[in-house]
């Protein structure tokens, strides 16, 4: 099983890796700077020592001064030596100075300046020992002073300086790692709290997350999760409501279909049996229409965003009116359509359902012989669909309730589920249309107006 990467471990490795690299770079730069300054300082001391020897040289140098046993005044004193040459002969030297002239060794190496001319610095190796040598001329040109220092003394001084400087920092690295681990762990505390809260939630729990003191970077994540829970809750509630609505509304037509089927089985006369079977078919039609209405309402309320495209509203209205014209003819109703060219942005399927529901309601609740008028076109630059009927109409209080789920006006004498108006209002809301219901001054029934922006 593949190991799950740890964000805390990753942050800790990154932080400590960057700190270690920066520390190593700073240590290397410090060592180089200290080495350079140390060389400058000690070279200055060599030049100063040579100047003192030049100033203090005896007017007459003889063989008796060829060696001087200088006292050891410092732990690095044995690593410093000098030679004084007079007329090419070694006239004076320290006890640890070699007998060979260091100048001759210097002449065989690359010099910092010009030791061959009698002054300057040079790095030489004598008997396997590296020396830093400074040469200078005396007051008389035939006197030459050489002051040398073993290079390993400089390395010892450099190491001592670096130990005192970098050793405390090296000891601080483990403490820094511990502090970084603690800081990263504290910083990721809200994330662990969020993970624990999510892990402890029940599958059906859709309440918003509460994470007091959440940092600014975590708040968008908490907000997104709460938004997701809210959307899931809406979908679950919609599914639950759809199931309850279907169970509630299908119970009656199914019971009626069963009753008519039982009557048909019990009847022996063909006329009564045919009547019962006809009622059974009508009940099946009502159940199918109810299922279609429920599915349409569930689709709209499910939060699905339909793909909008230009729709010729006038042609769509003509098609839908023609589809239900047979019902108006059967009731001897006058069904008229006045359609002007009009285009809107929307979903053609949903708009067809909206038009079909409005016209179907007008035909259904208008009495035989009444008139139903459907108008579509542009009004003040906006698309408008208007459906009027010659029915009995509704009081204002009941007109305001149109659109409530399963609300039906009493005394209409027509069967229905009360879902048609809910579907109309929801489809209009999805398209950004407005729905107005008034009393028709011309026909006496309802005057329904749907308006929206034209394409």
Q: Does residue 205 form part of some domain?
A: no
The separation between CA 170 and the C-alpha centre of its own chain, rounded to angstroms, equals 38
pLDDT of 297: 60
Q: Does residue 197 form part of some domain?
A: no
Instruction: List, for residues 20-58, the tens digit of each pLDDT value.
Output: 887 788 777 777 777 776 776 666 566 656 666 655 654
Q: Which of 120-129, 310-319, 325-334, 373-382 has the lowest mean pLDDT?
A: 120-129
Nearest to 428 by CA among 387, 370, 394: 387
**155 plus 13 within the same structural domain:** yes
Is the confidence at residue 13, as pLDDT, over 70?
yes
Q: Does residue 204 form part of some domain?
A: no
Q: Does residue 69 form part of some domain?
A: yes
Pair of tokens at residue 174: 């483990």
Is pLDDT larger for residue 300 or for residue 99? 99
CB atoms within 10 A of CB 368: 9
| Domain residue limits at 107 | 7-160
Of 297, 317, 334, the residue that ends a domain is 297
Residues contacting residue 122 through CB under 8 Å, at least 6 positions apart: 106, 109, 111, 112, 115, 132, 133, 134, 135
Q: Does residue 211 form part of some domain?
A: no
pLDDT of 52: 64
Contact in structure between 344 and 314 (CB atoms under 8 Å): no
Q: Does residue 216 form part of some domain?
A: no
**315 plus 291 within the same structural domain:** no
Q: What is the CA angle 117-120-125, rounded to 5?
A: 100
**126 plus 77 within the same structural domain:** yes
The CA distance from 284 to 260, in Å, is: 11
Nearest to 341 by CA among 379, 373, 315: 315
Mean pLDDT of the chain: 76
**126 plus 31 within the same structural domain:** yes
Confidence band of 161 (pLDDT split at 50, 70, 90): confident
Contact in structure between 150 and 79 (CB atoms under 8 Å): yes
pLDDT of 146: 85
Q: Does residue 206 form part of some domain?
A: no
The sheet that has 371-379: what strands, in order across it?
A: 334-339, 371-379, 382-389, 446-453, 434-439
**365 plus 283 within the same structural domain:** no
Instruction: List, for residues 321-345, the tens digit of each pLDDT value.
Output: 988 888 888 899 999 999 999 999 9
**276 plus 325 within the same structural domain:** no
Tally helices (H) and strands (E) across the chain: 10, 12
Q: Does residue 336 form part of some domain?
A: yes
Contact in structure between 371 and 336 (CB atoms under 8 Å): yes
Contact in structure between 167 and 173 (CB atoms under 8 Å): no
**291 plus 373 within the same structural domain:** no
pLDDT of 371: 93
Of 281, 297, 313, the residue that ends a domain is 297
The CA distance from 400 to 394, in Å, is: 10
**13 plus 107 within the same structural domain:** yes
**264 plus 340 within the same structural domain:** no
**413 plus 375 within the same structural domain:** yes
Instruction: List, for residues 366-415, the tens digit of each pLDDT value.
Output: 889 999 999 999 988 899 999 999 888 787 777 776 756 555 554 444 55
**266 plus 355 within the same structural domain:** no
Contact in structure between 290 and 256 (CB atoms under 8 Å): no
Of 141, 160, 179, the residue that ends a domain is 160
**275 plus 384 within the same structural domain:** no
Number of domains in the chain: 3
At 319, which CATH number?
3.30.565.10
């Amino acid at each position: 099983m593949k190991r799950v990467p740890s964000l805390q471990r990753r942050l800790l490795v990154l932080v400590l890796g960057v700190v270690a690299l920066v520390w190593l770079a700073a240590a290397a730069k410090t060592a180089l700077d200290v080495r350079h300054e140390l060389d400058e300082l000690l070279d200055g001391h060599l030049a100063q020592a040579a100047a003192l020897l030049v100033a203090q040289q005896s007017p007459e140098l003889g063989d008796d001064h060829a060696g001087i046993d200088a006292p050891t005044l410092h732990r690095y004193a044995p690593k410093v030596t000098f030679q004084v040459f007079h007329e090419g002969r070694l006239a004076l030297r320290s006890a640890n100075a070699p007998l060979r002239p260091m100048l001759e060794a210097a002449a065989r190496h690359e010099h910092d300046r010009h030791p061959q001319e009698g002054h300057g610095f040079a790095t030489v190796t004598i008997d396997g020992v590296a020396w830093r040598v400074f040469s200078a001329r005396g007051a008389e040109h035939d006197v030459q002073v050489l002051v040398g220092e073993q290079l390993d003394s400089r390395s010892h001084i450099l190491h001592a300086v670096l130990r005192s400087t970098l050793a405390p920092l090296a000891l601080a690295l483990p403490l820094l790692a511990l502090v970084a681990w603690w800081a990263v762990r504290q910083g990721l505390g809200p994330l662990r709290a969020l993970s624990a809260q999510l892990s402890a939630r029940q599958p059906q729990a859709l309440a918003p997350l509460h994470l007091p003191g959440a940092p600014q970077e975590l708040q968008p994540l908490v907000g997104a999760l709460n938004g997701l829970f809210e959307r899931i809750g809406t979908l679950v509630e919609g599914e639950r409501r759809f199931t309850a609505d279907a169970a509630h509304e299908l119970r009656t037509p199914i019971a009626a279909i069963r009753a008519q089927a039982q009557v048909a089985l019990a009847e022996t006369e063909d006329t009564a049996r045919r009547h019962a079977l006809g009622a059974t078919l009508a009940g099946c039609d009502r159940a199918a229409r109810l299922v279609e209405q429920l599915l349409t309402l569930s689709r709209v309320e499910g939060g699905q965003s339909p793909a909008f495209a230009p729709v010729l509203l006038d042609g769509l209205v003509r098609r839908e009116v023609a589809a239900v014209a047979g019902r108006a003819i059967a009731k001897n109703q006058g069904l008229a359509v006045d359609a002007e060219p009009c285009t809107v942005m929307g979903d053609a399927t949903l708009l067809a359902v909206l038009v079909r529901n409005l016209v179907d309601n007008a035909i259904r609740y208008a009495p035989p012989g009444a008139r139903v008028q459907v108008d579509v076109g542009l009004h003040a630059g906006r698309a408008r669909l208007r459906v009027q009927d010659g029915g009995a109409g509704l009081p204002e209080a009941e007109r305001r309730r149109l659109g409530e789920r399963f609300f039906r006006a009493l005394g209409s004498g027509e069967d229905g589920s009360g879902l048609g108006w809910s579907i109309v209002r929801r489809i209009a809301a999805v398209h950004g249309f407005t729905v107005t219901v008034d009393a028709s001054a011309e026909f006496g029934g309802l005057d329904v107006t749907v308006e929206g922006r034209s394409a």
